[in-house]
Amino acid sequence: MTGPRPEASPAHDQFLLRHRLPDRSRLWILVYLVVSAALVATFLVARRFTEARFGDFHALTSTAAALAVMVGILTLVRHHSRPNNHLLLIGAGLIGAGILDGYHAWITSSYFVELFPSVPESLAAWSWTTSRLFLSVMLLASWAAGRREAKLGAAGLIEARSIYDDVALLAVVCLGFFIFVPLPPAYQPGWPVHRPQALGIAIVFLLSLVAYLRDGRWRRSPFASWFVLALVVSVLTDALFVAFSAGPSDLMSGVAHGLKIVAYGCILVGVVASTYHLYRSVEETSLELEASNRVLEAEIERRKLAQAELEQAERKVREYAERLKSSNAELEQFAYAASHDLQEPLRVIAGYTRLLASRYEGRLDGQADRFIEYTVSGVERMQKLIQDLLTYSRVETHGKPFERVDSMRAFEWARTNLQAAIEESGASITGEGLPELVAEPTQLGQLFQNLLSNAIKYRSEEAPEVHVRAERTDGAWHFSVADNGIGIPSEDRDRVFEMFRRLDTAGDRDGTGIGLSVCRRIVERHGGRIWVESGPDRGSTFHFTIPDPEPARPDEAP
Ligand code: ADP
């Protein structure tokens, strides 16, 4: 047997299991044909023994009744594991037929025969017919109800309770019928077919057989294959053995009783086989589930590990950042202390070198005068460098709290400080729309002063023209300082803000390369950003932003 292949089946279809079984239609067609041929052969043989007589078939009918009820219950149990119209009607049909078969056994027994108005022969034949009619109709109905469910889905499901009620009602009505209604003769001895009503029942069974054969589930579903076999047996039982039985105790009738048990037995085997496959598929599913659980657990474990590694890495990054922060602070402190402490000895050296220059200039030889001049200018440069470094480190270490400040005043302050350079260069420096905002006043003044002094220092041939303006952007003030100086090549625009960075274009102009670093540090301390737009020979425009959440008022502009 090939192993079951996983394939989804419609949720409502309980004939087919979750794990589809292999197609066994060839085998089953052979079985159906062989069984049919055997029954036809048995019928032909039995026709020769018309005289053979048996006592009664109480044992067979009781067995059939018990078997039908048992198979019916098993089918319903299977149905209740996942409600489904086919199995509900087949199960209920079998239980109903079992009850009617029970009547068939009881009412012909010598204990009860007195109770009924009809002769035992008629009682036996009609109670058999009732049971068969009921079963055949229920089986045909089970197919129709199954189709309805396939079309409508869950909405097409029949409620089990209503079917049980109908079966119980039928049992009572039948009993009453047999007790109160005198029955007509069941056998037509003069006719070629002695019990024509059996042909009608055979036709109903045949309709179910054709319907179930056409829907094809018998090819794979063990229950459906056995069920179709039961239908084959039932059709031939009624069409041949019952229809041609000439009396309640002849050979035909005996075979029919036996075949009824065989048909019930087929359904029983079908239920058992289907239950077996169900268990197997449950077992396989749970194994699959266990395996996928294991994979899932391993995946969870892996993710936990990755998470832990990530957390550890994050912790390390935080630690490094912390260390960097504290070593930066230490470095800043060191730079401040070093530049601060260097100032004093430098002042002494500068003082004495200047004294040396003023006292001995022209009194020593020409070379000594040049040496003294170099020393004086070197010391002055060093003083400027130390001064600028100190300014740089003070931005953070000596930063004062922010306050509401008029940027126009800061601009004016810077311009006043640069008065000498402005006059000397003939510069025109103008400011427009400079607002009130929250900042540190001294640092804002320092920022303007650095940018304005650069604009004058890096002037072109023309007299410097510098224009400072501000405009409101989203949540910040955007300042710009535009000059008509020598400009900055595009590849250097970011580098000019680096510490000690001086461009070649600066030529012989004095400077330490710290001024713009101070500007950037001040702007960043205020939470803003600084950048420059420029091109050689077309001036530079320095932009910086200072966040200021307060909305601009028209009267804020000076
Ligand atoms: P410094 O002026 O002391 O050299 P800065 O940090 O103020 O240092 O400036 C860095 C460099 O940026 C300068 O050396 C100069 O080459 C260039 N620079 C700054 N401002 C301007 C400007 N307005 N126009 C052209 N170049 C400038």
Using CA positions, which residue lies closest to atom 14 of ligand 1? 502
Using CA positions, which residue lies closest to atom 23 of ligand 1? 455
Q: Is 454 in the pocket of ligand 1 (CB under 6 A)?
A: yes
Q: Which of 385, 429, 454 to mutate to test the pocket of ligand 1 (most atoms within 8 A of CB)?
A: 454
CA distances from 7 to 20, 105, 153, 175, 286 (A): 6, 46, 19, 48, 16
CA distances from 520 to 398, 443, 526 (A): 16, 11, 10
DSSP state of 185: P
- List, in order, residues 6 or more apart from 84 with CB less than 8 Å away: 12, 13, 14, 146, 149, 157
Token readout for 462 is 């023309």
**Are 136 and 208 contacting, i.e. CB atoms less than 8 angstroms apart?**
yes
Q: Is 116 in the pocket of ligand 1 (CB under 6 A)?
A: no
Using CA positions, which residue lies closest to atom 25 of ligand 1? 487
Helix (H) or strand (E) holding 467: strand 465-473
Token readout for 542 is 């320095």
Q: Is 493 in the pocket of ligand 1 (CB under 6 A)?
A: no
Q: Is 499 in the pocket of ligand 1 (CB under 6 A)?
A: no
Nearest atom within ligand 1 for CA of residue 501 = 10
Q: Is 441 in the pocket of ligand 1 (CB under 6 A)?
A: no
Residue 235 alpha carbon to ligand 1 centre in Å: 109
pLDDT tens digits in sequence order for the chain, 558 residues long: 344 443 334 444 445 555 567 888 999 999 999 999 999 999 999 988 877 777 667 788 889 999 999 999 999 988 887 788 889 999 999 999 998 888 888 777 777 777 777 777 777 888 888 889 999 999 999 999 999 988 888 888 888 888 889 888 887 887 777 777 777 777 877 888 888 999 999 999 999 999 999 988 899 888 999 999 999 999 999 999 999 988 878 889 899 999 999 999 999 999 999 888 888 888 888 999 999 999 999 999 999 999 999 999 999 999 999 999 888 888 878 878 887 888 888 888 888 888 888 888 788 787 888 888 888 888 888 888 888 888 888 888 788 899 999 999 999 999 999 999 999 999 999 999 999 999 999 999 999 999 999 999 999 889 999 999 999 998 899 999 999 999 998 888 899 999 888 885 456 788 889 999 999 999 999 999 999 998 667 899 999 999 988 654 545 444
**Are 5 and 19 contacting, i.e. CB atoms less than 8 angstroms apart?**
yes
The predicted pLDDT at position 127 comes to 84
DSSP state of 4: P
Q: Which of 386, 452, 458, 465 to mutate to test the pocket of ligand 1 (most atoms within 8 A of CB)?
A: 458
DSSP string for residues in 473-538: ETTEEEEEEE--SS---GGGTTGGGSTT---GGGTT----S-HHHHHHHHHHHTT--EEEEE-TTS
The predicted pLDDT at position 299 comes to 96
SS3 405: strand
Distance of CA 529 to the CA centre of its chain: 42
Nearest atom within ligand 1 for CA of residue 455 = 23
Q: Is 120 in the pocket of ligand 1 (CB under 6 A)?
A: no
Give me the half-sphere count of Cα atoms (radius 13 Å) on the Cβ side of residue 243: 18
Q: CA–CA separation, 236 vs 140, rounded Å? A: 16
Q: Which of 395, 496, 509, 538 to mutate to test the pocket of ligand 1 (most atoms within 8 A of CB)?
A: 496
Q: CA–CA separation, 276 vs 530, rounded Å? A: 80
The predicted pLDDT at position 455 comes to 95
**Are 131 and 101 contacting, i.e. CB atoms less than 8 angstroms apart?**
yes
- List, in order, residues 6 or more apart from 331 with CB less than 8 Å away: none
The predicted pLDDT at position 3 comes to 41
The predicted pLDDT at position 187 comes to 80
Q: CA–CA separation, 270 vs 15, rounded Å? A: 10
Q: Is 449 in the pocket of ligand 1 (CB under 6 A)?
A: no
**Are 439 and 546 contacting, i.e. CB atoms less than 8 angstroms apart?**
yes
DSSP state of 53: B
Using CA positions, which residue lies closest to atom 11 of ligand 1? 502
The predicted pLDDT at position 504 comes to 57
Token readout for 99 is 């009850």
The predicted pLDDT at position 547 comes to 94
Q: Is 511 in the pocket of ligand 1 (CB under 6 A)?
A: yes
Q: Is 129 left (phi over 0), alpha (psi -120 to 50) or beta?
A: alpha
- The burial class, CB within 10 Å (0-12 / 13-18 / 19+), for 392 is buried
Using CA positions, which residue lies closest to atom 16 of ligand 1? 503
Give the amino acid at 450.
Answer: N
Distance of CA 134 to the CA centre of its chain: 51
The predicted pLDDT at position 558 comes to 40
Q: Is 483 in the pocket of ligand 1 (CB under 6 A)?
A: yes
Q: Is 536 in the pocket of ligand 1 (CB under 6 A)?
A: no
Between strands 428-432 and 403-406, the pairing is unpaired
- The burial class, CB within 10 Å (0-12 / 13-18 / 19+), for 348 is exposed
Q: Where are the beta strands (DSSP E) in 382-425?
A: 403-406
Give me the half-sphere count of Cα atoms (radius 13 Å) on the Cβ side of residue 435: 23
Using CA positions, which residue lies closest to atom 7 of ligand 1? 515
The predicted pLDDT at position 2 comes to 40
Residue 530 alpha carbon to ligand 1 centre in Å: 14
Q: CA–CA separation, 61 vs 260, rounded Å? A: 9
